[in-house]
Amino acid sequence: MKVQDIAKLYNAEAFGDINSEVLTVDELCGKKSSALGFIGEEQYLKQLISSTVKVVLVENNLNNKLLDEWLAIDSERAYIKVKHAYRVFIKLTYKLLSKDELEIQPPLEQRKEYPGVYFGRNVIIGKDVKIFPGVVVMDNCTIGDLSIIYPNVSVYKNTRIGKRAIIGSGTVLGSDGFGFVKDEDGSLLKIPHLGGLVIEDDVEIGSNTSVDRGTLGDTLIRKGTKIDNLVQVAHNCILGENNILCGMVGLSGSTEFGNNVIMGANSGTKGHIKIGDNCIVTARTSVSKDLKPGSEVKGIYPARPIAEELKIQTLVGKLPELYERIKKLEKGEK
């Protein structure tokens, strides 16, 4: 694609050589020729000096002077000012790269037999599903059209995966939840998990993540939700649409999310609570009670509104100084 075509496509303004051709994408410090890069923040402008990319997408509020100095070094360079540069860069990546380039590695061909894959009874596989070696799909499971199941994924019985799902290597879907009750003699009695797991369309789940099936009803992950590596989703959780769960998040049983919830890395929830639409839970935060829609919380325990928690952290840093002042006051010193 030419620079002028990209600018026209996104109703953007282009500077420099608008006839320059873009064939691929690369990071600013990469070595590919005819590559497109992007800059979303001012601090990365300095990387342009040593960059080999010919064309960059830049956020429309960045410094034109520095960009124009970069253009002056090479007459074949160009930059395009857009809103949400990274988002546009991702969309152009799909346009510029071939299907093979976008694949991490060649998948098994779609066919009746999948080498190295185990299927149980009553398994339904949709069209153009890609399944890698080492995958186990147990009884009564469904995998929707255009989904990708990477190596060594275990799909337990009664799991339904929607269309265009991406499941990372080593992930376990639909296993028993962690549920026990104490018997009269003090031993732990295992709670049978008779429910299933439902994963709707366009869900992505990273590597080595575990999503448990329900005890009686189903665990549910609604469409568009994205889950990182090393995440635990316990039995009977309900995750709304377009949620983001970062690495090492842990959700206790029967946690219910609204839509567009973000859970930062290493955060978690107590069981049987509800988190409303558009909530943000920052990294390493423990949520122990319901959150109203739009809440933003921070704190190891308990989670508090961000402004309150930051104030507390600031005061904690002043404790040594306050302690010395109190000692002096106790001695009658000024």
* Cα 243 to Cα 231: distance, rounded to the nearest angstrom: 13
Interval 232-265: pLDDT, tens: 999 999 999 999 999 999 999 999 999 999 999 9
Amino acid 109: pLDDT: 45
CATH of 118-305, one of 3.40.1010.10, 3.90.650.10, 3.20.20.100, 2.160.10.10: 2.160.10.10
Question: Which contacts of 263-267 are long-range, i.e. CB under 8 A and separated by 24 or more positions?
Answer: 265/228
Confidence category of residue 304, pLDDT binned at 50, 70, 90: confident
Answer yes or no: is pLDDT of 287 > 80. Answer: yes
| pLDDT in the model for residue 104 | 53
pLDDT band per the 50, 70, 90 thresholds, residue 108: very low
What is the mean predicted confidence (pLDDT) over 23-32?
84
CATH class of 3-102: alpha beta
* Extents of the domains making up the chain: 3-102, 118-305
Summarize the confidence of residues 289-298 as an average pLDDT. 95
- Can you tell me which residue has the tokens 């590559």? 35
Say yes or no to pLDDT of 276 above 50. yes
Distance CA 286, CA 189 (A): 28
| Least confident range of 57-71, 144-158, 215-229 | 57-71
Q: CA-CA distance, 251 to 270, in Å (whole number)?
A: 7
Active-site residue set = 235
Confidence band, pLDDT 50/70/90 cuts, at residue 331: confident
Strands 118-119 and 136-137: parallel
Strand stretches in 26-165, DSSP E: 35-39, 55-59, 78-82, 118-119, 124-125, 130-131, 136-137, 142-143, 148-149, 154-155, 159-161
Pairing of strands 197-199, 219-221: parallel
**What are the structure tokens assigned to 195, written together?**
């429910």
User: Interior CA angle at 183 toward 213 and 211, to 5°?
Assistant: 15
**pLDDT at residue 106, as a whole number:** 46
Element (H, E) at 238: strand 238-239
Residues 6+ apart with CB under 8 A from 81: 12, 13, 14, 15, 58, 59, 60, 62
pLDDT value at position 250?
Answer: 97
Domain 3-102 matches domain 118-305 at the CATH topology level = no
- For tokens 């019985």, name the residue: 157
